[in-house]
Amino acid sequence: MKRRRFAASLGSCLLGRLGAAPAQGVETTLVVASFPDLDRAAQAARAQWARRHPDIEIKLVSRQIADHHTAMTTALATGAGLPDVMALDFRFVGKFGASGGLENLAGPPYDGMALRERFERYAFTQAINKKGELTTLPTDIGPGTLLYRKDLFDQAGVGEAELTASWDSYLAAGRKLKAATGAYLLGDASDLRDILLRAGLHDGEGLYFDADGHVLVESARFVRAFEMSLQAHRDGIEGRAQPWSNDWVAGLKRGRIATQLMGAWLTGHLRNWIAPDQAGRWRSAPLPGGAFASYGGSFYAIPKQAQHKALAWEFVKLLCADREVQLQSLRVLDSFPALLEAQQDASMAAPIPYLGGQRARVMWRDIAAKVPAIPVNRYDAVATDVIRDAFEQVVSQGVAVRDALRDARVLIEHRARWR
């Protein structure tokens, strides 16, 4: 009897706790799932949000970038633990956008398409899936730039014009640099390969797949990218150090790597932790040969099974389409705004001390405007893996470029089986 009474009291206690929550009228909580450093943008936007909705709390769930996307995959799979607002890195936009698990922000009750003209054209195109649904909204972008060590190139007697005139002159400058200073032109030949794959693309052209889903990896664009990158490897002007590896960080720190083709956001990483003591020695230039490309970018989406969709949409618009919040992200994260109004702000013309006082953001803005709008494909990540492997076969196994690319096409066609 005692036991039964205990069980009953425990039960009523638990029920009481659960039942008490709505009764007390605690405010609604909007769950936002993000990853570092992007989470700092949502954190910083809390103040603006609180002014609009003092009764609605923002709960920020932040995981490391890989864990975040795995957790979101699991949440979409099971329908459990889904946030109201989901941050997505560019690499996952194609896959998640095609999944059918995200709200179409183009249709009612959303007014996503009305925002189109306010965003950088290419980033907005990336947010649209194959079916024409707007599944995400871009928040920051990565206009591609050539960051280079001016002091090292001065020693080698190479000016910026010579460095960026064409891809051939870029590689020739690398050979001069190696002879004069011993420094590598590139961290890794694959950096060159990846940018050359994107160079010369036009609006609507896919990177690996055309509009009908045909695999494009045997085209002249791929052959040229492979051959030039192989040449850089043979010339010994690449350090075989993949971006973000220990060797790459050490190479940049010690001045062994003299240029990096990357999104403009790399400047923030260089300044904050990779090479803070090299302020004034780096410069930013347009990509060689008149190429325009983008590196990465961040997006926000609303899952179909989100609890508070209307509020989520309001928060997404606050993060992406509010000029003040976008500029705040620029200050907090050094991220480049996807919103055109924010790009027109006077602060964009401020000199950047780390780049020797260069007014680089204006240049990055011009680059961003010229980046072609390339549609994403759900199998882009698969194709990236296959192409990476094909290039390794060429570099270390001596496989002929055309043979490696033919094998790559066969493999991508095999892998993309549910097209």
Partner 1 sequence: MDATTPAALVAARKRRPLRARDVAPYVFVSPFFILFAVFGLFPLLFSAWLAVHEWDPAEGLKAMHFVGLENFRFVLTDPWFHRAVGNTLWLSVATALPQHLVALPLAAFVHEKIRRGRDLVVGAYFVPYITSSVAIALIFSTLLSRDYGAVNALLAELTRVPLLGSFMPDHPIDWLGDAHYAKPTVAFVVFWRYLGWNTVLYLSALQTISPELNEAATLDGASPVRRFFHVTVPLLRPMIYFAVTLSIIGSLQLFEEPFILVDIEQGVSQSVMTLAIFMYRLAFGEGDFGAASAVSWLVFALIVALAWLNARLFGREGRGE
Binder among 27, 111, 168, 392 for partner 1 (CB under 8 A): 392
Torsion of Cα atoms, 309 then 310 then 311 then 313, to 10° = 80
Burial of 314 (0-12, 13-18, 19+ CB in 10 A): middle
**Closer Cβ to partner 1, 160 or 247, answer by number:** 247
Decide: 90 and 299 in contact? Cβ < 8 Å: yes
Binder among 183, 318, 330, 395 for partner 1 (CB under 8 A): 395
Smallest separation (angstroms) from partner 1 to the CB of 246: 6
* C-alpha closest to that of 49 among 62, 60, 61: 60
- What is the radius of gyration, based on Cα positions, of the chain? 24
* C-alpha closest to that of 222 among 398, 417, 390: 390
Binder among 83, 251, 297, 375 for partner 1 (CB under 8 A): 251
Binder among 149, 256, 269, 283 for partner 1 (CB under 8 A): 256
Query: Interface with partner 1 includes 242 (CB under 8 A)?
Result: yes
Binder among 62, 129, 164, 190 for partner 1 (CB under 8 A): 190
Smallest separation (angstroms) from partner 1 to the CB of 409: 12
Smallest separation (angstroms) from partner 1 to the CB of 331: 30
Smallest separation (angstroms) from partner 1 to the CB of 160: 27
DSSP designation for 335: P
**Closer Cβ to partner 1, 180 or 250, answer by number:** 250
Query: Interface with partner 1 includes 99 (CB under 8 A)?
Result: yes
Smallest separation (angstroms) from partner 1 to the CB of 291: 22
Decide: 58 and 49 in contact? Cβ < 8 Å: yes
- Tell me which H or E stretch contains 259: strand 259-263
Decide: 56 and 95 in contact? Cβ < 8 Å: no
Query: Interface with partner 1 includes 376 (CB under 8 A)?
Result: no
Distance CA 55, CA 26 (A): 8
**Closer Cβ to partner 1, 46 or 131, answer by number:** 131
Query: Interface with partner 1 includes 240 (CB under 8 A)?
Result: yes
- Tell me which H or E stretch contains 241: none
Print the binding letters for residues 144-183 with partner 1: x by CB under 8 A, - otherwise: ----------------------------------------
Binder among 16, 19, 81, 100 for partner 1 (CB under 8 A): 100
Binder among 33, 34, 58, 101 for partner 1 (CB under 8 A): 101
**Closer Cβ to partner 1, 24 or 246, answer by number:** 246
* C-alpha closest to that of 237 among 298, 167, 296, 295: 167
Distance CA 188, CA 239 (A): 6
**Closer Cβ to partner 1, 244 or 273, answer by number:** 244
Smallest separation (angstroms) from partner 1 to the CB of 157: 25
Q: Which residues of 318-349 are buried (b: 16+ CB within 10 A; e: fewer)?
A: bbbbbbebbbbbbeebbbbbbbbebbebeebe
* C-alpha closest to that of 146 among 296, 286, 356, 291: 286
Residues in region 55-94 near partner 1 by CB under 8 A: 70, 72-74, 76-79
Give the interface with partner 1 as residue ranges (CB under 8 A).
Answer: 3, 70, 72-74, 76-79, 95-96, 99-101, 190, 239-242, 245-247, 250-251, 256, 381-382, 385, 388-389, 391-392, 395-397, 407, 411, 414-415, 417-418
